[in-house]
């Protein structure tokens, strides 16, 4: 039960009218009663009073702590010197610069990665086109019944690796004509030694390419290389282990490279002598291999023929090593000549080598395309000579009788 509170009416303010005062007094009286009624509070117990006092004390302490913290922060911020402020701004700038630099590096790495990917895709595409072209050339050559590079024969007499080498060799010959024209133009235009050196080095790299192709061809079909089926008939007459003899090439060049200094002459003759020794060693090794093959195939009982063939095949694998060593000797000879000679002499030297083999190929073409009438007359004369030789013994026989 709430205690009884005295109800009081509020007095009418001054200056108000009578009717208005009545309404005001009644309204104010009601309001006063309601407000007094709403503001009536139940008397608190000692425990609730103590709890409320503790809560009020904690709120006061928290407010004081917050005020002290804010004051200390403001004081520390105010106590910072301009130098410390500048250091803070500088560190932020450094961080920003590092971030920007890292972003720039990432962009550059991404750009290079895209370029590498694009180059790799282009390389794959060019390799695919080259392979397709090689297959088309091979099919066309098979349909015609012969292969490029001076090789004439049926499809069954040549392997796919040898056919691919013949096609690559024909392209190498086309590039050889272009390099020779560059050498000729450079000599006639009297280019500087540095410009002419670029052309000479390019021509040496051109010869290195054919030696690289021959290494792959020797692995595929060494007989195709060692028999010279990739060259013209005139070139085959001077063939030695699938190529030219370095000593013969040097002998041909010495008479056409004048004037030479005494030191150059000594260097060239020393190179010729070492080439001859290497050629003799390789020739003797090849002869021993051939004799060993003859003994292996011809010796032993017929029942053990399969074992003989297996041993012979193992010895035939050594042919690839002989061809490779001969090509290394040829390659080293060309490089040594370019070191001994001056730039212009080296340009003339390689030009003469190219023209020499070009004339051999032209000679083979002339021989293959000679008039048929002369061939018939030669065949007739040969037949007549043979008949005379056959008749002569019979005449002697009858005379003796």
Does residue 266 register a pLDDT over 90?
yes
* Judgement on whether residues 199 and 171 belong to the same structural domain of the protein: yes
Of 81-95, 120-134, 185-199, 220-234, the poorest mean pLDDT is in 81-95
* Judgement on whether residues 175 and 321 belong to the same structural domain of the protein: yes
* Judgement on whether residues 116 and 221 belong to the same structural domain of the protein: no
CA dist list (Å): 139 to 88, 118, 148, 163: 76, 32, 12, 10
* Judgement on whether residues 118 and 162 belong to the same structural domain of the protein: no
Going by C-alpha positions, the residue among 149, 315, 323, 326 that lies closest to residue 221 is 323
CA distance 207 to 330: 10
Q: Is residue 266 part of a domain?
A: yes
Range of the domain at 110: 104-144
Region 183-187: mean pLDDT is: 92
* Judgement on whether residues 133 and 197 belong to the same structural domain of the protein: no
Does residue 6 register a pLDDT over 50?
no
pLDDT tens digits for range 73-102: 555 545 555 555 555 555 566 668 888 888
Q: Is residue 35 part of a domain?
A: no
What percentage of residues in the chain have a pLDDT greater than 70?
62
* Judgement on whether residues 139 and 166 belong to the same structural domain of the protein: no
Does residue 127 register a pLDDT over 60?
yes
Region 378-391: mean pLDDT is: 49
Q: Is residue 72 part of a domain?
A: no
Of 141-145, 160-164, 360-364, the poorest mean pLDDT is in 141-145
Of 103-107, 146-150, 287-291, 366-370, the poorest mean pLDDT is in 146-150
Does residue 394 register a pLDDT over 90?
no
* Judgement on whether residues 190 and 282 belong to the same structural domain of the protein: yes
How sure is the predictor about 121, in pLDDT bands with cuts at 50, 70 and 90?
A: confident
CA distance 229 to 151: 5
Going by C-alpha positions, the residue among 171, 165, 139, 132 that lies closest to residue 151 is 165
CA distance 170 to 175: 9
Of 128-137, 186-195, 325-334, the poorest mean pLDDT is in 128-137
Q: Is residue 55 part of a domain?
A: no
Region 357-377: mean pLDDT is: 80
Q: In this structure, how many other beta carbons lie within 10 angstroms of the beta carbon of residue 231?
A: 24
Does residue 347 register a pLDDT over 80?
yes
pLDDT tens digits for range 36-65: 444 444 444 444 444 455 556 666 566 565
Residue 239 phi/psi, 5° resolution? -80, 140
CA distance 133 to 126: 10
Does residue 9 register a pLDDT over 80?
no
What percentage of residues in the chain have a pLDDT greater than 90?
36
* Judgement on whether residues 139 and 220 belong to the same structural domain of the protein: no
Domain boundary among 144, 166, 196: 144
Please, what sign has the CA dihedral across residues 150, 154, 158, 163? positive
* Judgement on whether residues 124 and 256 belong to the same structural domain of the protein: no
How sure is the predictor about 311, in pLDDT bands with cuts at 50, 70 and 90?
A: confident
How sure is the predictor about 215, in pLDDT bands with cuts at 50, 70 and 90?
A: very high
Does residue 354 register a pLDDT over 50?
yes
Give the predicted TM-score (pTM) of the model: 0.57
Higher pLDDT, 377 or 104: 104
Higher pLDDT, 124 or 239: 239
Give the pLDDT confidence score for residue 30 in this predicted structure: 38
How sure is the predictor about 148, in pLDDT bands with cuts at 50, 70 and 90?
A: very low
Q: Is residue 343 part of a domain?
A: yes
The helix or strand, by DSSP H or E, that contains position 350, with its residue range, turns out to be: helix 343-368
Going by C-alpha positions, the residue among 52, 56, 55 that lies closest to residue 41 is 52
* Judgement on whether residues 247 and 118 belong to the same structural domain of the protein: no
* Judgement on whether residues 192 and 288 belong to the same structural domain of the protein: yes
Q: Is residue 69 part of a domain?
A: no
- 356: tokens are 């020499």
Mean pLDDT for the chain?
74
Give the pLDDT confidence score for residue 53 in this predicted structure: 55
Region 340-344: mean pLDDT is: 93
Report the domain count for the chain.
2
Own/partner long-range contacts of 196-204 (Cβ < 8 Å, ≥24 apart):
196/343, 196/344, 196/347, 197/343, 199/347, 200/338, 200/343, 200/346, 200/347, 200/350, 203/179, 203/350, 204/334, 204/335, 204/338, 204/350
Q: Is residue 23 part of a domain?
A: no
Give the pLDDT confidence score for residue 118 in this predicted structure: 87
How sure is the predictor about 27, in pLDDT bands with cuts at 50, 70 and 90?
A: very low
Give the pLDDT confidence score for residue 55 in this predicted structure: 57
CB 213 within 8 A of CB 337: no
Does residue 333 register a pLDDT over 90?
yes
Question: What does DSSP assign to residue 304?
Answer: G
* Judgement on whether residues 191 and 332 belong to the same structural domain of the protein: yes
Of 80-84, 123-127, 287-291, the poorest mean pLDDT is in 80-84
Q: Is residue 342 part of a domain?
A: yes
CA distance 394 to 387: 11
Of 74-88, 99-113, 140-154, the poorest mean pLDDT is in 140-154
Instruction: Give every CB contact of residue 264 below 8 A, 6+ residues apart in sequence.
Output: 340, 341, 345
CA distance 244 to 234: 12
Region 200-208: mean pLDDT is: 95
């Amino acid at each position: 039960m709430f205690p009884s509170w005295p109800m009081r009416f509020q007095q009418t303010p001054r200056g108000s009218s009578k009717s208005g005062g009545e309404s005001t007094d009644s309204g104010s009286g009601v309001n006063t009663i309601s407000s007094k009624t709403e503001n009536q509070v139940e008397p608190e117990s000692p425990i609730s009073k103590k709890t409320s006092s503790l809560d009020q004390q904690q709120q006061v302490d928290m407010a004081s702590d917050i005020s002290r913290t804010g004051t200390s922060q403001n004081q520390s911020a105010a106590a910072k010197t301009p130098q410390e402020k500048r250091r803070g701004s500088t560190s932020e700038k450094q961080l920003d610069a590092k971030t920007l630099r890292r972003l720039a590096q990432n962009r550059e790495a991404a750009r290079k990665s895209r370029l590498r990917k694009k180059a790799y895709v282009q390389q794959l595409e060019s390799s695919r086109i080259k392979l397709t072209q090689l297959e088309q050339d091979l099919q066309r050559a098979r349909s015609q019944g012969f292969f490029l590079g001076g090789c004439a024969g049926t499809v069954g007499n040549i392997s796919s690796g040898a056919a691919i080498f013949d096609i690559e060799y024909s392209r190498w010959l086309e590039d050889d004509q272009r390099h020779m024209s560059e050498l000729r133009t450079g000599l006639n235009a009297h280019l500087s030694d540095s410009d002419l050196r670029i052309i000479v080095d390019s021509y040496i790299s051109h010869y290195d390419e054919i030696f690289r192709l021959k290494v792959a061809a020797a692995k595929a079909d060494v007989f195709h290389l060692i028999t010279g089926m990739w060259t013209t008939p005139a070139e085959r007459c001077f063939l030695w282990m699938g190529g030219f003899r370095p000593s013969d090439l040097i002998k041909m060049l010495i008479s056409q490279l004048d004037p030479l200094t005494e030191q150059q002459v000594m260097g060239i003759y020393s190179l010729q002598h070492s080439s001859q020794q290497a050629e003799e060693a390789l020739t003797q090794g090849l002869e021993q291999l051939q004799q060993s093959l003859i003994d292996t195939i011809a010796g032993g009982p017929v029942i053990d023929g399969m074992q003989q063939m297996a041993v012979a095949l193992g010895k035939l694998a050594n042919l690839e090593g002989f061809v490779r060593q001969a090509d290394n000797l040829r390659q080293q000879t060309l490089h040594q000549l370019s070191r001994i000679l001056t730039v212009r002499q080296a340009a003339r030297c390689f030009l003469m080598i190219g023209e020499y083999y070009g004339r051999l190929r032209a000679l083979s073409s002339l021989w293959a395309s000679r008039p048929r009438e002369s061939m018939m007359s030669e065949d007739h004369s040969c037949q007549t000579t043979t008949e005379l030789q056959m008749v002569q013994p019979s005449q002697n026989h009858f005379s003796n009788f």
